[in-house]
Chain A
Amino acid sequence: GQNIDQPTEMTATEGAIVQINCTYQTSGFNGLFWYQQHAGEAPTFLSYNVLDGLEEKGRFSSFLSRSKGYSYLLLKELQMKDSASYLCAVRDSNYQLIWGAGTKLIIKP
């Protein structure tokens, strides 16, 4: 079956760095997405990886290793507004998105 694993919850301190991991087992691979979702709001697109390596976008970076079925989202200089759920999603061989359950990130002052 298809499966995406993320930690359920993480806590970090304002100003620090946090890494959210995602491992996946899917039928084929056509890209991995990270979305941010604040409570009660719509998910918003953060990043996309299809080749191995690191993609950097301001304070956020996303890494992919296809051979290991592994990705992480790195958030630097954490701000209180970064408190949200972070969703990992993989596009499979049928170009369908398989979603992880999300990681709830709590930022403490």
Chain B
Amino acid sequence: DSGVTQTPKHLITATGQRVTLRCSPRSGDLSVYWYQQSLDQGLQFLIQYYNGEERAKGNILERFSAQQFPDLHSELNLSSLELGDSALYFCASSVPGLATYEQYFGPGTRLTVT
């Protein structure tokens, strides 16, 4: 158990709909990262937040948005969903200040768009 929690674990929805994925980082971690992983594909970095502010942006579609709240939990909003958005969405957190500050991943949310 990494200490990072994600809800829901599974989500099935229809094309055109909007969903929100939630992530709670490990206690003390200020950075949150969101990743998308389609079937048998590598991790695609979407976005990073640090202490409530956007720090870095990857290949995130305009239909997707995220935010990090004062209690450091984060939400990823996916709208106008398409079949191709079906994937595993991971959240990760890390501790700044450590030499390695490796990322700890949550269990993921499996999104299925039908």
Tell me the A residues contacting B by CB distance below 8 Å. Answer: 31, 33, 40-45, 48, 50, 87, 94, 96-97, 99-102
Contacts and interface: CB of A to CB of B under 8 A. Distances in A.
Contacts of B83: none
B90 interface: yes
B88 A40 contact: yes
B106 A42 contact: yes
Interface stretch (B13-21, B40-48, B66-74): B40-48
Contacts of B103: 45, 97
Nearest to A42: B105
B91 to A, nearest CB: 9
Contact of B107 (A42, A48, A50, A94): A42
B100 A44 contact: no
Interface of B: 2, 41-43, 45, 48, 56, 88, 90, 99-100, 102-108, 110
Contacts, number: 39
A91 to B, nearest CB: 9
A43 B45 contact: no
A48 B43 contact: no
The secondary structure that dominates the B interface is loop
Given A31-B100, A50-B99, A94-B56, A44 B42 contact: no
A42 B100 contact: no
Contacts of B41: 101
A71 B16 CA distance: 43
A102 B37 CA distance: 12
Contacts of A101: 41-42
A16 B108 CA distance: 32
Given A94-B56, A96-B56, A43 B100 contact: no
B105 A102 contact: no
A48 B42 contact: no
B42 A99 contact: yes
26 contacts: A31-B100, A33-B102, A40-B88, A40-B110, A41-B107, A41-B108, A42-B2, A42-B107, A42-B108, A43-B43, A43-B90, A44-B2, A44-B105, A45-B103, A48-B100, A87-B42, A94-B56, A96-B45, A96-B48, A96-B56, A97-B45, A97-B103, A100-B42, A101-B41, A102-B42, A102-B43
